[in-house]
Amino acid sequence: MSAQARPVFDFPLRTRLFIDGSWCAPETRQRLPVVDPSTEETIVEVDAGSPADVDRAVRAASRAFRAWKQTSGAERAGFLRAIARGVEAHGEHLAALQSLNNGKPIAESRIDVGDVIATFDYYADLAQTLDVPEEAIAIPSSDHRAVIRREPAGVVGLIVPWNFPMVTTAWKLAPALAAGCTVVLKPSEFTPLPELELAAIVERAGLPPGVLNVVPGTGTEVGAALTMHPLVSKVSFTGSTAVGEQVMKAAAQSIKGVSLELGGKSSIVVFADADLNLAVDLVVGGAFFNAGQMCSATSRVLVERSLAPALIARLADRVARTVVGDPFAAGVQMGPLTNRPQYERVQRFIARGKADGASLVVQGEAPDGAGYFVKPTMFVDVPTSSAVWREEIFGPVLCVRSFDTEDDAIDAANDTEFGLVATVVTRDEARGERMAGALQAGVVWINSPQLIFPQTSWGGYKKSSIGRELGPFGLAAFQEIKQIVRAAAVPD
């Protein structure tokens, strides 16, 4: 593993709030240290917002909404494409900033940048379809005429997590702008740097002042104030289920709309007829991409009993050989976890798995010294009552159990309070389709890595989601439906 020079940024890192088209200081002058998870050193301090700053941002967004909602879909599409081209032009800088702040390998960060570009381009195309003002509704045996209008929801609050900075933001921001909403964005206090740089790109794209506002800060200060603000019409939150419950309770006080993208505890089901090489690749990718910090992590492996010895042996070898280290070093396959609280949480789960009687097959090597590095870990024969089998870990911990029949696999995969994703690995096309129909998950991959396209949907069943993101569903999340019924003739 050869070292690679740390990135040198050719302009200063953004550290201020972005409100009403201006970079400004917070009311309280509080600061948040932003830490490099590979070294545990402070990169920079950014301004931390307060409820007063949230109020300023929301009121700016409310003023801007009056004009922004009147723009045509074609006009909004022009802004979205300008943002996409800005991200494209600064792609390598954004990828480096992502790896520096989040800790993911630079190759993964480049994938993230491509996702951001594709999302803004997709919603630019979708925005152009909005210039048909009304949709006629057929009313049989009536002399009345009915039409539907789709109108922007208003000022929306976007609260995004630290595991996919910029990506989760794009999934929310692009459709919100396409719909004609104005936005107040709260980035994670752990990873504000990529989001602030994305805001600078939006500013350079010429978006009118107040249409996008960015207020970094803590969840208890900024997140709560944004969720409860009376001028915010809709809150879209991605994060843990526990915090999602708090967001929903807070939003209920003013009966505002919510979209929630929350946790997962997902399975990959490997049948005996599966291609073994493909199965290993899909298990490793589903469990260890982004150091396992994914709500979609398929960290529960269900393998048909006759294939289990071979799959476990191959997985153990791959897990043990996973190269963990500095995200800018050549050959690194997994970086550190993004923050200390998550590092400590994952270590507690590993200890819990051992205490619960799961068989520890691999706990591979990680670099010595500083950094939130966790050794990729693999358990087999995990009790179904164990927390490592039932709870979302959000780290590089893989659990394996065997099954005997297709029905057993379905029951085991669905035995969870979550329902975000699932993967099926089989050569039997009919079986793959049966499994996709039986699994309680919003996204099912069959013999495929976890590819997510802007044109499709994202979200799940049970405690994983309320609503859907991406595709036309993501746009609809930021629209209100207005029904207009007209009499055929007005009486004299």
**Residues with catalytic annotation?**
261, 295
Residue in this structure with the two tokens 């071979």, named with its chain if needed: 310
State how far the Cα of 161 lies from the Cα of 252, in Å rounded to an integer: 22
Q: Which helix (H) or strand (E) holds 111?
A: helix 106-127
Q: What is the β-pairing status of strands 397-403 and 377-380?
A: parallel
- Distance from first CA to last CA of the chain, Å, rounded? 86
399, 300 Cβ separation under 8 angstroms: yes
DSSP string, 276-291: HHHHHHHHHHHHHGGG
E strand spans, 119-180? 135-137, 144-152, 155-159
Q: What is the β-pairing status of strands 418-419 and 421-425?
A: unpaired
217, 186 Cβ separation under 8 angstroms: yes
State how far the Cα of 90 lies from the Cα of 96, in Å rounded to an integer: 10
Structure tokens at 168: 């989760």
Residue 245, C-beta contacts closer than 8 angstroms, at least 6 positions apart: none
| CA-to-CA dists, residue 52 to 26, 66, 216, 217, angstroms | 8, 22, 13, 12
State how far the Cα of 331 lies from the Cα of 312, in Å rounded to an integer: 24
Structure tokens at 152: 């922007």
| CA-to-CA dists, residue 307 to 29, 82, 246, 310, angstroms | 59, 51, 43, 6
14, 197 Cβ separation under 8 angstroms: yes
Instruction: Identify residue 103 by its one-letter amino acid code.
Output: G
Residue count of the chain = 492
